[in-house]
Amino acid sequence: MRRDADKEEAAVYQRVVRKNGAPYHYLKTHLVLEDESVRLSAVELKLFIISGLKNLYGEVGAALTFDLLKYNEDTLSALLRVHSRGLVKLWSSLTLLGSFQGQACCLQGPAGVSVPAGAVRKQS
C-alpha cells in the first residue's frame, strides 16, 4: 500500500522551475520630487523615463518599448510594463534618474522598493 502511495506521489509531484519564463515584467513606482506640489501628466512622465533611458543607454535604450499602464496624477504613481529582456535596462535607468527640471527626484516603489510586481504569462 505504501509503495503504491509513494509511486502515486512520485507521479503527481512535479516541480517546474521557469527562469524568466514570462514575457512581461511589471514595475510599480512612484515619483518623489523635491517640490511636492508639482504635477505631471502621463505623457510627461513617459517622456521623462525615455529621457532617463536615453541618458544611460543612448538611442538604443530610448528605443526600448515600455508601457505606462496605470498612472495616478495626484500621487504620481505609475505601473509600467516592459519586456523581460528590457527589465534590467529600464529598472536601472529608473534608479539612476536623479533630476527632473532642475530639482532632485527619486523613482520609488511602494514602500520604497521597486520590485517587478510579478510576471504574468498570457494564456493562449
Considering only residues 50, 106, 117, 119, which one is a binding residue for another protein as defined by CB under 8 A? 106
CA separation for the pair 20, 96 (Å, rounded):
24
Query: Count residues contacting another protein (CB under 8 A)?
Result: 22
CB of 36 to another protein, least distance (A): 11
Near another protein by CB under 8 A, which window of 9-17, 38-46, 77-85, 96-104? 96-104
17 touching another protein, by CB under 8 A: no
CA separation for the pair 104, 85 (Å, rounded):
29
Report DSSP letters for 15-82, one per residue: ----SS-SSEEEEEEEEEESSTT----HHHHHHHHHHHHHHHHHHHHHT--EEEEEEETTTTEEEEEE
- Cβ-contact 107, 31 below 8 angstroms: yes
CB of 57 to another protein, least distance (A): 10
What's the grid cell of residue 20? 524568466
Near another protein by CB under 8 A, which window of 5-13, 42-50, 71-79, 100-108? 100-108
Binding mask of the shown chain, residues 27 to 46, with x at each position contacting another protein by CB under 8 A? -----x-x------------
Which stretches of the chain bind another protein, using CB under 8 A? Answer: 32, 34, 55-56, 88, 91-92, 94-98, 104-106, 108-109, 111-115
